[in-house]
Amino acid sequence: MSLETKRICFGWRPGDTLPRPEIAGIASGGLPRPADPTYGALARNFARTGNKGYIVIGEATARLFACDRHASAFVDLPALACERDVRASAEALNRAFDLIVLPTAYEIAPDRDFSSLVALLERLDVPVVTLGLGMKDGGLRMEDLHPSLHQLLSWLNDHAALFGVRADRTATWLHANGFPRAVALGCPSMHLHPEAIARLRPPMVAMDRLRLATGGYVLRDLARAAGLSALLEGCDASYFVQDEIFHSVTFAADDIVIDDARGELRKEAMERAITAWGGFVPSFGRYLYFDGLDAWRQAMAGHDLFVGDRFHGGTVALQVGLPTVMFARDVRADELSRFYGIPQPELGGAGADDLAPLLAQALGEQSLAAFRATHARRDAAFWQAMARVGLNRAGTRVKPA
């Protein structure tokens, strides 16, 4: 089978927020979001994917690999397994696809129940590949997890063509708990545009002229949000929102909160919400929110660097070639940043006076050279692992200028 005729099911969260209608057996495409600037419309669209980090992962995975793009598809297998007859679904998947790729994230967590998914996987005849599977938090014990998650990990260890996991910490934990086939391969989103990472250089713009991109935990984690705001005080900083506004009752459903054409949330509304929640006036100059990665990347490309607290926000910055400083709030960001060698200082109690020396150290030539070299090794290992299961890069690899 040629690479371009392989039919791949990308079987986790999709890489966009389009609905997936079934209309009388007729091939159909999901409609784009309505031109509705209200919070309720944003929340309904957000519910299709959850945390925008998932669409960064899903979109990258679907774009990376050579396949028959008229016969490959996003299918949310966990949802399918819960909503449809498992036997009939497995038969349909076996007929329709040659390979199933699961672009996962922080699924090793106490609140995950994969009973229906395991029943579905047990009936599949096509090869299954997992990518990016990781722990939600550190300190997990097997007894903390739902029995079905143990069953899922056992099935992947015994039957997956490739049991790809997030990074070394997750792989070590899985090996220690009896799953020796887990291999640390990183996140697919870090392999979409390696040429952009290969050409990273220290920013050449004066501090007072830098256009900064950031993202973090406003409306979710007071200490982290206040710390990031203090660090960027006085800067021209754009805050890229992922899921923060959906974690609390911040706005009424009919509140107009966004300039829909520009993807810019109303600054005054965001500042009121953050001040009421955290008791401080945030320093960010604007707040951006996107449902699609093309618009997200285009907006990110209008900045000089990224300094922030969200791993996949930083990944989008790296995809367009921005020097990136990644603060690590949790095991997920810490594990991936260490795996790829992304500059990772501590946010701590840093203030505005600390920003210039922090950037000079984290984004100096020596630091970036180490990052470029580490990423190049990880990228080569990623594609070697993909080739062993018949997955090759879509198109021609771009060489860095």
- Enumerate the domain spans of the chain: 3-192+377-388, 194-371
Rounded to whole angstroms, the Cα distance separating 179 from 158 reads 9
User: For residue 216, what is the enclosing H or E element?
Assistant: none
The SS3 call for residue 255 is coil
- Sheet hosting strand 73-74, strand order edge to edge: 73-74, 8-10, 99-103, 128-133, 162-165, 183-184
Q: What is residue 240's three-state secondary structure?
A: strand
Q: Note the pLDDT tens digit of each residue in 136-163.
A: 988 899 999 999 999 999 999 999 999 9
Per-residue model confidence as pLDDT tens digits over 215-227: 999 999 999 999 9
Smallest CA-to-CA distance from 307 within 346, 277, 335 is with 346
What does the radius of gyration of the chain's CA atoms come to, in whole angstroms? 21
pTM listed for this prediction: 0.95
Across the beta sheet with 236-240, what order do the strands follow?
A: 258-259, 264-265, 286-288, 236-240, 211-214, 305-308, 324-326
Give me the mean pLDDT over the 271-289 stretch: 97
| 152-211: pLDDT as tens digits | 999 999 999 999 999 999 999 999 999 999 999 999 999 999 999 999 999 999 999 999
Which numeric CATH code is attached to 194-371?
Answer: 3.40.50.720
